[in-house]
Chains A and B, each alone.
Chain A
Amino acid sequence: QKEVEQNSGPLSVPEGAIASLNCTYSDRGSQSFFWYRQYSGKSPELIMFIYSNGDKEDGRFTAQLNKASQYVSLLIRDSQPSDSATYLCAVSGGGADGLTFGKGTHLIIQP
């Protein structure tokens, strides 16, 4: 059974600070890793994906992957109140049954 674990939060971060969201996964064969953002009452939207060990940066977002530790993280620099949402970590092993999602971390950016 594939598992993706996230701290449900809420994680409270002051505006302008760095928000750090963490995720661990159980399947060592996992190949692709994704972060989605979901606002209350809306559907998830893709923020970033990462396939290789190391860091991947896109604007204020940085995804970090460590396959040896089975650990994925998302850093949000210069956090804004509009970043307040639930962030879902998702992992793929390449099968047709899609991604395995974590339960999500609720992030609150305090003005």
Chain B
Amino acid sequence: EADIYQTPRYLVIGTGKKITLECSQTMGHDKMYWYQQDPGMELHLIHYSYGVNSTEKGDLSSESTVSRIRTEHFPLTLESARPSHTSQYLCASSGGSRGNTIYFGEGSWLTVV
């Protein structure tokens, strides 16, 4: 299984603050993803990456941005947080011998007040 680490796990911040959610994986997977999920609701893909220097927007429009400078690292940034950004953000990766199988990190719960 992939080891994917997300920090912070829980964060409460004020409106207008800039926030970066960190995600790192140790399996050398080339593909990485960010999903957004409200409690009890479905997963929405907001960003994905084929590899270093590759980023794409997902199915759900998001005001966040991502970067992929290193294979193992895929941070997500909100320049100016709003209460509508309150959600769980799940980082995931796939690749290697398991191909399309996606493995998730533990998630980052963001609350914007």
Contact = CB atoms under 8 A, between A and B. Distances in A.
Contacts of B101: 32, 34, 46, 49
B33 A98 contact: yes
Interface residues of A, number: 22
Interface string A11-39: 00000000000000000000110100000
Interface size class of B (residues with CB under 8 A): 20 to 34
Secondary structure of the A contact surface, majority rule = loop
A96 B31 contact: yes
Contacts of B106: 42-43
List 3 tightest A-B contacts by C-beta distance, closest first.
A92-B100, A43-B104, A103-B42
Interface of B: 1, 31, 33, 39, 41-43, 45, 48, 50, 56, 58, 90, 92, 94, 99-107
